Amino acid sequence: MSYHIYLAGEIHSDWRAELEKQISEELDVEFIFSGPQENHEKSDAIGETILGTQPDLLYRDIQSSKINNLRTQLFLRKADLVIAYFGEKFRQWNTASDVSLALAKNKPVILIRPENLHHPLKELSERANVTVDTIPKAVQVLKYLFD
């Protein structure tokens, strides 16, 4: 039996690779990982890549967002667990949205965020199941669940 984990959040660091590496070292369980497009340029351009040049930046974003939302919805529906990483940079409102859609579907959620982001994330932290401030701590939570 395998578990599907959706990795929401920051795409400007290699936290997913780091998390997956630590999990594979610590746990002997089959996990399937999914998440958003991590290539930022590709993510912002996908609408025009597929549909051709759009009349302006607003429509360029509209078309890319539709495809990115399709991706998120497809994989989030399959997820047994969601781990979301909030970094210092960017507003990441789509991360807050992904987490909340998962919560509304009764999917367990672990938040990772630096301590100093605690205050702006306080309501979301209390809606999620668990909040930690580092990747190794998230791995420890998984270790507690699956050992």
Write out the residues near its own copies by the rule CB under 8 A: 1-4, 32, 37, 42, 46, 49-51, 55-59, 61-62, 64-74, 77-78, 80-81, 86, 90-94, 96-101, 103-108, 110, 118-127, 129-130, 132, 137, 140-141, 144-145
Burial of 51 (0-12, 13-18, 19+ CB in 10 A): middle
Specify the residue, 25 or 56, whose C-beta has the smaller distance to its own copies.
56
Smallest distance, its own copies to C-beta of residue 25, A: 17
Smallest distance, its own copies to C-beta of residue 62, A: 6
Instruction: Say if residues 27 and 3 touch (Cβ distance below 8 Å).
Output: no
b or e along 105-130 (b: 16 or more beta carbons within 10 Å of the residue's beta carbon)?
eebebbbbbeeebeeebeebbeebee
Query: Which of 96, 93, 88 is closest to 128 using CA atoms?
Result: 96
Smallest distance, its own copies to C-beta of residue 13, A: 18
Smallest distance, its own copies to C-beta of residue 21, A: 19
Specify the residue, 12 or 118, whose C-beta has the smaller distance to its own copies.
118
21: Cα separation from own chain's centroid = 17
Specify the residue, 28 or 119, whose C-beta has the smaller distance to its own copies.
119
Specify the residue, 21 or 77, whose C-beta has the smaller distance to its own copies.
77
Instruction: Say if residues 113 and 83 touch (Cβ distance below 8 Å).
Output: no
